[in-house]
Structure 1
């Protein structure tokens, strides 16, 4: 049986797109006769606090669905303070460095990037050990953090990040990227590097979520996910106009903007906006049965980024209201998944919301069926994995 190690900063029982994406990759490789190992921090995301089962422990080895998961110590944080976040990443990075240097590892290793420092340390050590390095790039750092204005362009931290980025691309045996933009970016510096498209598709479903169509209720739009800087959910709630519309906006999740969002909704009483906090995946899907549309926003257009929520929620049968720019717009439009408003253009978004409010529930029901059929045809995870295996990527 072939062995493979996946290094990631996130893994279940943590929630979120990154943890789900890595778990799906691990499970699919296991189904294709790989013995899979995971190396990750102690569970803490998205709250930035160690889960109760990991408190007081330096490392943990556990078995999840036949996959061996090794968790190393981390000083967890979701602080907006860049220095505190850096200390958190460094705490895991140091343990990761010594583990990879000392311990025996499989010859094939998937390294998740970002976080950039963790992928840099992994690639640096493992390239010295002559391992086959498969770099899984889901976002372009430091470009994304510059676009979000989290660090200053041409600062010392920016220049060092560029150095790390170039090294991981150079040393990787091959690269899998979640978007065509990521592959174009890498080829601009390393045109000969082998790169493969690997979208963040969900598990292929033969049966869609049994959605309920409640004719007399308002149209329910939902956001479920990270409440972070990149998503801009607080700004979204401040600038959308639902007054007089047959629409409710429901929010699920946790993250750095949670307190700010709660203050906005509960104290300022934003009209027709409801916050439900963080719920697990099973409970979320149960609640969503009476909902109608998934909104997928980004604060700014992030080159290379394609939110996995496009794939996840369309595969459940939800039309997508996309407000993030870039390659995501093309995917929504080409596959007839819903509506697109230009990122940052709240006048355009409010115009789309007005048009949605005028839709009848019967029209939405037909649209849900169409979206489910289109997404399940276009976003086939098993086919994607099979093609990558045929190319000997893993």
Structure 2
């Protein structure tokens, strides 16, 4: 049995794509006879506060499904203040250093990036000719920060670029969740070993049941983080509710603004349902005609994992984010694409969707496409050959 350590900022009971991605990776490796350990902060995402069951703790160890989980102290904060967010990252980094100094570290380590600083601390402290460091890159920072408007090209940005280069340089293998990420790494280090590791989900897919032909408004749903990058608040303002009823699940920094918008604009056909567990969400999503996957701005390297999750559920999608994600929707006929950032085009696309199109036949086709092309276990086996 081979020991392997995963270092991540996100892990259940936290919700969201990042948490699910790492959980499935850990669980998958454990099922393939790896002895898996995970280091992660005390649960705090996306609320920016340590969850109730973990408050007042400096560290928590648990053994869950034969996976050893070390939850370390963090100064939890989701403030827009960059200094406070930096302090939060530094606090977890100090906890990591303390852990590295007092614990035996396996010969194989997977490090999640971003955040860059946490990955940097891991790379600089765990470098060894006898250890294999695998960098799992889910978003390209600092480029993504620049495109989101969270960063500007200044001294801080240049420093983050140097940290990014350091991380790639000292990784023995770089996993990228998109072809764009791998192209970026290859442009910097042409001989670096790379591997495309998509965010494929691993859950029992539901059987698609027959439904009566839909009439009236389309029931469209969004489920996920209500943050700046997703732009759900602006989406709520711009949608034409003549054709759709919009349902929202999730939490995040824009939640209060969205709730206020709903209260002040009763003519907007929006229903906010709050947060639910992932298992419960999967059941609820099956009741909607289609789902929307939006990004406020096109982010180079980003491919929302929702594409693969919704495909496995058999849910038609409207993609509104551009880039590689848009190409996947078109290539595999998973739904409709609207021009990124163009709300007029989005409303036009929605107005042209015939309710009878979103039937059980298209759902079965989408689900079958997922089974054939987005297989978690097949991908994991290829990764294990690289480890």
**TM-score, length basis structure 1:** 0.95
Mapped partners of 2:60, 2:216: distance in 1? 47
Confirm whether residue 28 of structure 1 aligns to residue 28 of structure 2.
yes
Partner of 1:201: 200
Partner of 1:52: 52
Matches of residues 1-394 of structure 1 in structure 2 within 5 Å? 1-128=1-128, 130-153=130-153, 155-203=154-202, 205=204, 207-208=206-207, 210=209, 213=212, 215=214, 218-242=217-241, 244-245=242-243, 247-269=244-266, 271-356=268-353, 359-361=354-356, 363-390=358-385, 393-394=386-387
Deviations, residues 88-129 of structure 1 (Å, cap 9, x unaligned): 111111111221233211100000000111111111111157
Mapped partners of 2:342, 2:302: distance in 1? 18
Mapped partners of 1:288, 1:214: distance in 2? 17
| Conservation of the 8 A alpha-carbon contact between 2:176 and 2:197 | yes
Deviations, residues 193-219 of structure 1 (Å, cap 9, x unaligned): 000000000116454465855745632
> How far does residue 59 in structure 1 lie from its aligned partner after superposition?
0.1
Give the stretch that moved more between structures: 267-276 or 249-258.
267-276
Mapped partners of 2:210, 2:46: distance in 1? 28
Structure 1's unaligned 5+ residue stretches are: none
Q: CA distance change for structure 1 residues 30 and 157 in 2, over 3 Å: closer, same or farther?
A: same
> How far does residue 269 in structure 1 lie from its aligned partner after superposition?
3.0
Mapped partners of 1:367, 1:257: distance in 2? 33
| Conservation of the 8 A alpha-carbon contact between 1:317 and 1:369 | yes
Q: CA distance change for structure 1 residues 204 and 382 in 2, over 3 Å: closer, same or farther?
A: farther
Mapped partners of 1:290, 1:311: distance in 2? 18
Q: CA distance change for structure 1 residues 105 and 191 in 2, over 3 Å: closer, same or farther?
A: same
Q: CA distance change for structure 1 residues 249 and 34 in 2, over 3 Å: closer, same or farther?
A: same
| Conservation of the 8 A alpha-carbon contact between 1:80 and 1:256 | no
Mapped partners of 1:23, 1:299: distance in 2? 27
How many equivalent residue pairs?
387
Deviations, residues 292-314 of structure 1 (Å, cap 9, x unaligned): 21110001110000000000011
| Conservation of the 8 A alpha-carbon contact between 1:213 and 1:361 | no
Structure 2's unaligned 5+ residue stretches are: none
**TM-score, length basis structure 2:** 0.96
